[in-house]
Amino acid sequence: MSDMQRGQSIGCVLALLAGLLCPAGSARGVGEYKEYFVAPNGRPDADGSRARPLNLATALSATSPARPGDTIWLLGGTYRGAFVSRLEGTQRDPIVVRRYAGERATIDCRAPGDRDAPFTVEGQWTTFWGLEVTCSNPRRLTKIAGSHPEDIRRGGISCLGSHIRFINMAVHDCGGGFGFWSGGEGGEIYGCIIYNNGWQGPDRGHGHAIYAQNKKGTKQLVDNVMFNQFGYGIHAYGSARAFLEGFHIEGNVSFNNGSLARQGRAPNILVGGDCPALGYGAANEDAALEDNYFVGGVTVRGWGKLSATGNTFIASAGLIGLVPGGPLSPESCRWDENTYYAAGAEGANWRDFFLVQSGKGSSLDFAAWQGQTGLDRSSKHFTGRPKDVHVFIRPNQYELGRAHVIVYNWPAQDAIEVDLKDFLKIGSAYELVNVQDYFGRPAVAGTYDAKPVRIPLRAVRPAAPVGLPRGGPAPAGPVFSVFVLRGA
Domain of 462, CATH number, reads 2.60.40
Q: How many domains does the chain have?
A: 3
**112 and 202 housed in the same domain:** yes
Residue 455 lies in a domain: yes
**381 and 393 housed in the same domain:** no
pLDDT at 28: 67
pLDDT in tens, 346-401: 545 557 999 988 888 999 999 999 999 999 999 999 999 999 999 999 999 999 99
pLDDT at 275: 38
Q: Is the pLDDT score of 24 beyond 60?
A: no
Measured in whole angstroms, the distance separating CA 182 from the mean position of its chain's CA atoms is 18
pLDDT at 301: 77
Residue 449: CB atoms within 10 Å: 9
pLDDT in tens, 154-186: 999 999 999 999 999 999 999 999 999 888 888
**262 and 324 housed in the same domain:** no
pLDDT at 25: 45
Residue 305, strand partner residues: 286
Q: Is the pLDDT score of 234 beyond 70?
A: yes
**270 and 291 housed in the same domain:** no
**309 and 362 housed in the same domain:** yes
**334 and 461 housed in the same domain:** no
Residue 150: CB atoms within 10 Å: 8
Distance CA 406, CA 479 (A): 11
Distance CA 77, CA 300 (A): 45
The bridge status of strand 444-447 relative to strand 119-121 is: unpaired
pLDDT in tens, 33-50: 999 999 999 999 999 999
Residue 20 lies in a domain: no
Measured in whole angstroms, the distance separating CA 333 from the mean position of its chain's CA atoms is 28
Residue pair 294/254 in contact (Cβ under 8 Å)? The answer is: no
Q: Is the pLDDT score of 303 beyond 80?
A: no
Q: Is the pLDDT score of 276 beyond 50?
A: no
Give me the CATH number covering residue 268: 2.160.20.10
Query: Which of residues 296 and 57 earns the better pLDDT score?
Result: 57
Question: Collapsing DSSP states into helix, strand and coil, what is residue 50?
Answer: coil
Residue 123 lies in a domain: yes
Q: Is the pLDDT score of 461 beyond 60?
A: yes
For a pLDDT cut of 70, what percent of the chain falls above it? 86
pLDDT at 350: 56
**128 and 196 housed in the same domain:** yes
Residue 24 lies in a domain: no
Give the model's confidence band at 59: pLDDT under 50 very low, under 70 low, under 90 confident, else very high. Answer: very high
pLDDT at 159: 95
Picking from 341, 356, 386, the residue at the C-terminal end of a domain is 386
Task: Write out the residue range of the structural domain in which residue 312 sits.
Answer: 284-386
Query: Which of residues 278 and 312 earns the better pLDDT score?
Result: 312
Q: In terms of Cα–Cα distance, which of 222, 254, 265 is closest to 474?
A: 265
Average pLDDT over residues 416-422: 95
- Integer angstrom CA distances of residue 254 from 226, 294, 486: 5, 10, 20
Q: In terms of Cα–Cα distance, which of 182, 266, 195, 190 is closest to 229?
A: 195
Give the model's confidence band at 418: pLDDT under 50 very low, under 70 low, under 90 confident, else very high. Answer: very high
Q: In terms of Cα–Cα distance, which of 214, 283, 282 is closest to 249?
A: 214
pTM of the model: 0.89
Average pLDDT over residues 307-336: 89
Query: Which of residues 31 and 141 earns the better pLDDT score?
Result: 141
| Dihedral sign from CA coordinates of 239, 242, 247, 251 | negative
Give the model's confidence band at 344: pLDDT under 50 very low, under 70 low, under 90 confident, else very high. Answer: confident
Query: Which of residues 312 and 243 earns the better pLDDT score?
Result: 312
Distance CA 116, CA 440 (A): 29
Question: Collapsing DSSP states into helix, strand and coil, what is residue 58?
Answer: helix
Question: Collapsing DSSP states into helix, strand and coil, what is residue 66?
Answer: coil
Average pLDDT over residues 331-359: 82
**297 and 243 housed in the same domain:** no
- Integer angstrom CA distances of residue 217 from 244, 339, 444: 11, 33, 40
Average pLDDT over residues 438-466: 95
Residue 18 lies in a domain: no
Average pLDDT over residues 194-213: 93
Residue 116 lies in a domain: yes
**164 and 263 housed in the same domain:** yes
Query: Which of residues 7 and 94 earns the better pLDDT score?
Result: 94
Average pLDDT over residues 444-458: 96
Residue 76 carries which side chain, given as an amino acid letter? Answer: G
- Integer angstrom CA distances of residue 344 from 77, 106, 305, 406: 49, 44, 31, 23
**342 and 261 housed in the same domain:** no
Residue 9 lies in a domain: no
Looking at 49-182, list the stretches that DSSP marks H as alpha helix, in order from N- to C-terminal side: 56-60
**Cis amide leading into 478 (omega within 30):** yes
Picking from 386, 411, 444, the residue at the C-terminal end of a domain is 386
**221 and 201 housed in the same domain:** yes
Distance CA 177, CA 226 (A): 10
Question: Collapsing DSSP states into helix, strand and coil, what is residue 373?
Answer: helix
Residue 303 lies in a domain: yes
pLDDT at 353: 94
Picking from 226, 256, 282, the residue at the C-terminal end of a domain is 282
Widest distance between CA atoms in the chain:
73
Give the model's confidence band at 139: pLDDT under 50 very low, under 70 low, under 90 confident, else very high. Answer: very high
Q: Is the pLDDT score of 280 beyond 70?
A: no
Residue pair 350/368 in contact (Cβ under 8 Å)? The answer is: no
**200 and 234 housed in the same domain:** yes
Distance CA 352, CA 346 (A): 12
pLDDT at 269: 76
For a pLDDT cut of 90, what percent of the chain falls above it? 65
Question: Collapsing DSSP states into helix, strand and coil, what is residue 249?
Answer: strand
- Integer angstrom CA distances of residue 484 from 261, 269, 414: 26, 21, 19
pLDDT at 351: 74
